């Protein structure tokens, strides 16, 4: 049974690793990505703030040497969910089971004046040099629309920015503002939101909830908010508009911009076609931990089919998020999104011990996916 996985991010890598671990050489898996390397979302912040190097956080797909897995580096140009066919720049792949794990793209051009974004690998790595040159002033971290990946990330960015400026002796001459369309930093977890708001208050970070950044005027050096308010802005770190990759939108699989799936099995409306992660509208936030949990459910179904058995495993909507509070303090939120119920999230920390937990989270995945040892903040 040939499984073609479109996209080797959090969801695609987890699915490929699970299929290989369960089926070995019996897994006939083609894993396709346009990139040569995988980078964790949180590593973007680590590089941007100079806590590690770009080279250290890039994991080469060429190192995915697992029984039954073939990695192909090529750009996917067309997905046919009826024929279960994937066309790339170099080849065509026919699948018995097709899994779309292509994530969410960002579109900075949708926000007038948005130049400096930190949500792509290239944008975050370039921001490191911008920050290295920054001499202090008004910093605005601004979300431009919903949905956006990793809802806690802009809050973490504000707290890490405080630390960064403090360490460079620029905090007294700087002002940090965070603009977010959400009403609280992490809506499913009031405890986590309260802890973040307390840290903002302690560090003098201005919090603008329920608003987005509509545009940035570089000449007047102001960020213009959705409500019309203008914030002085010498450095704008934008979270751009998110949308499904064009190849997904052109495939006819998307409804209202994202791929609808059965929220228990991750099956799309097309037989033997699944979708996992940010590209779906499954109802969990766009974050790697949820893509990973969904990949586990799809893996269980594929393994059962290969073995001619059945699985009762369904998606539980659970994920664990780590939150950087700066000064090497990390908190952990355990959150579950169940259909028809208000999501519930529980907070531990922030504490120095949980930094070790987060380190283990990253190290464990790189060991399972790339078969090598790694620590997120090494060099
Ligand atoms: C600053 C920041 C911090 C974050 N921190 C965290 C965190 O701490 N914890 C967490 O869980 N999540 C975090 N995230 C979110 C996380 O990175 C994403 O939600 C997660 O990677 C989604 O997984 P995915 O498999 O759905 O998609 P992705 O991991 O985005 O993978 C999609 C893959 O598809 C490939 N692709 C796209 N189009 C094509 C094409 N046409 N042809 C070929 N390949 C293509 C891409 O190259 C990519 O490798 C963070 C994100 C950001 C931006």
Q: Is 350 near ligand 1, meaning CB less than 6 Å away? A: no
Indicate if ligand 1 lies below 6 Å from the C-beta of 282: no
For residues 21 and 84, state if they share a domain: yes
Centre of ligand 1 to C-alpha 307, Å, is 31
67 lies in the same domain as 10: yes
Q: Supply the CATH number for residue 265's domain.
A: 3.50.50.60
Rounded mean pLDDT of 149-175? 98
Q: Are residues 212 and 292 in the same domain?
A: no
**In terms of domains, do 100 and 177 share one?**
no
Which of residues 316, 332, 353 is at a domain's end?
316
Assess whether the C-beta atom of 93 lies below 6 angstroms from ligand 1. Answer: no
76 and 24 fall within a common domain: yes
- Residue 173: predicted pLDDT: 98
98 and 112 in a single domain? The answer is no
Range of the domain at 151: 107-242
Beta strands in 101-166 (DSSP E): 105-107, 138-143
Q: Which of 292, 316, 340 is the last residue of a domain?
A: 316
pLDDT over 70 percentage in the chain:
100
Task: Please report the pLDDT score of residue 88 as a whole number.
Answer: 98
Residue 6 inside a domain? The answer is yes
Could you tell me if residue 174 is inside a domain?
A: yes
How buried is 28 (Cβ within 10 angstroms: 0-12 exposed, 13-18 middle, 19+ buried)? middle
Residue whose CA is at the smallest distance from ligand 1 atom 37: 102
Q: What is the C-alpha to C-alpha distance for residues 59 and 367, in angstroms, rounded to an integer?
A: 11
- 238 within some domain: yes
Q: How far is the CA of 366 from the centre of ligand 1 (A)?
A: 15
Q: pLDDT at position 224, please?
A: 98
Query: Is there a domain that residue 204 lies in?
Result: yes
Q: Is residue 221 part of a domain?
A: yes
Share of the chain above pLDDT 90, in %: 94
335 domain-assigned: no
> CA 178 to CA 304: how far, in whole Å?
47
Q: Are residues 136 and 154 in the same domain?
A: yes
Is the distance from the beta carbon of residue 7 to the nearest atom of ligand 1 less than 6 Å?
yes
CA 286 to ligand 1: nearest atom: 19
Q: Which residues contact 95 (CB under 8 A, 6 or more apart)?
A: 2, 3, 4, 30, 84, 85, 86, 272
Are 238 and 249 in a shared domain? no
Is residue 97 lining ligand 1, measured as CB closer than 6 Å?
Answer: no
Q: Is the pLDDT of residue 208 over 90?
A: yes
Residue 355 lies in a domain: no
> Is any atom of ligand 1 closer than 6 Å to the C-beta of 11?
yes
Per-residue pLDDT tens digits for 191-206: 999 999 999 999 999 9
- Kindly give the number of the ligand 1 atom that is closest to the alpha carbon of 14: 25
Q: What is the pLDDT of residues 287-337, one digit of tens each?
A: 999 999 999 999 999 999 999 999 999 999 999 999 999 999 999 999 998
Residue 51 Cα, ligand 1 centroid: separation in angstroms? 21
Average pLDDT over residues 149-157: 97
Q: Which atom of ligand 1 is least distant from the CA of 280?
A: 26
Assess whether pLDDT exceeds 80 at residue 340: no
- Ligand 1: residue of 4, 7, 359 to mutate (most ligand atoms within 8 A of CB) is 7
How many structural domains are present in the chain? 2
Q: 292 in ligand 1 pocket by Cβ < 6 Å?
A: no
- Give the end of a domain, one of 299, 316, 333: 316
- 128: Cα separation from own chain's centroid: 19
Ligand 1 atom at minimum distance from 295 CA: 25
Clarify whether residues 23 and 89 are in a common domain.
Answer: yes
Question: CB-side exposure of 134: number of CA atoms within 13 Å?
Answer: 31
**Ligand 1: which of 13, 32, 33 to mutate, most ligand atoms within 8 Å of CB?**
33
Cα–ligand 1 centroid distance for 10 (angstroms): 6
Ligand 1 atom showing the smallest separation from residue 277 Cα: 26
Ligand 1 atom closest to 247 (CA): 41
Residues 116 and 187 in one domain: yes
Q: Which atom of ligand 1 is nearest to the CA of 322?
A: 8
State the distance from the centre of ligand 1 to the C-alpha of 248, rounded, in angstroms.
15
**Mean pLDDT calculated for residue range 149-177:** 98
pLDDT of residue 379: 80
Mean pLDDT of 95-104: 98
Q: Whose CA is nearest to atom 51 of ligand 1?
A: 41
Examine the domain organization and report whether 65 and 41 are in the same domain: yes
- Domain match, 37 and 157 both: no
Strand partners, 345: 335
State the Cα–Cα distance between residues 375 and 53, nearest whole angstrom. 12
Give the strands of the sheet with 85-88, arranged side by side: 76-80, 85-88, 92-94
Domain-located, residue 293 = yes
Over residues 268-296, mean pLDDT: 97
């Amino acid at each position: 049974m040939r499984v073609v996985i479109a996209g080797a991010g959090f969801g695609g890598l987890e699915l490929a690793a699970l299929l290989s671990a369960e089926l070995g050489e019996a897994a006939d898996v083609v894993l396709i990505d346009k990139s040569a390397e995988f980078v964790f979302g949180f590593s973007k912040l680590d590089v941007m703030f100079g806590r590690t190097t770009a080279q250290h956080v890039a994991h080469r797909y060429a190192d995915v040497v697992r029984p039954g897995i073939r990695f192909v580096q090529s750009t996917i140009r067309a997905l046919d969910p009826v024929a279960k066919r994937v066309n790339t720049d170099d080849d065509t792949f026919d699948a018995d089971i097709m899994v779309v794990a292509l994530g969410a793209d960002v579109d900075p051009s949708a926000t007038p004046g948005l130049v400096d974004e930190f949500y792509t690998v290239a944008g975050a790595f370039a921001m490191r040099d911008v920050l290295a040159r920054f001499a202090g002033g008004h910093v605005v971290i601004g979300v431009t629309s919903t949905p956006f990946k990793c809802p806690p990330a802009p809050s973490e960015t504000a707290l890490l920015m405080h630390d960064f400026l403090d360490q460079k002796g620029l905090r007294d001459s700087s002002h940090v503002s965070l603009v977010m369309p959400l009403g609280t930093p992490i809506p499913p977890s009031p405890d986590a939101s309260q802890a973040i708001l307390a840290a903002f208050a302690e560090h003098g970070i201005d919090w603008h909830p329920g608003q987005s950044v509509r545009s940035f005027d570089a000449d007047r050096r102001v960020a213009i908010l959705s409500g019309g308010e203008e914030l002085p802005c010498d450095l704008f770190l934008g979270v751009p508009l998110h949308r499904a990759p064009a190849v997904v939108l052109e495939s006819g699989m998307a409804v209202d911009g994202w791929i609808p799936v059965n929220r228990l099995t991750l099956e799309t409306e097309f037989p033997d076609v699944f979708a996992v992660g940010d590209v779906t509208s499954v109802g969990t936030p766009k974050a790697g931990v949820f893509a990973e949990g969904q990949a586990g459910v799809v893996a269980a179904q594929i393994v059962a089919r290969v073995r001619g058995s059945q699985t009762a495993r369904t998606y539980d909507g659970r994920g664990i998020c780590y939150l950087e509070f700066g000064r090497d303090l990390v908190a952990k939120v355990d959150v579950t999104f169940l259909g028809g119920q208000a999501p519930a999230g529980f907070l531990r920390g922030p504490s120095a011990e949980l930094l070790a937990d987060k380190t283990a989270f990253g190290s464990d995945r790189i060991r399972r996916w790339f078969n090598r040892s790694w620590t997120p903040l090494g060099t």
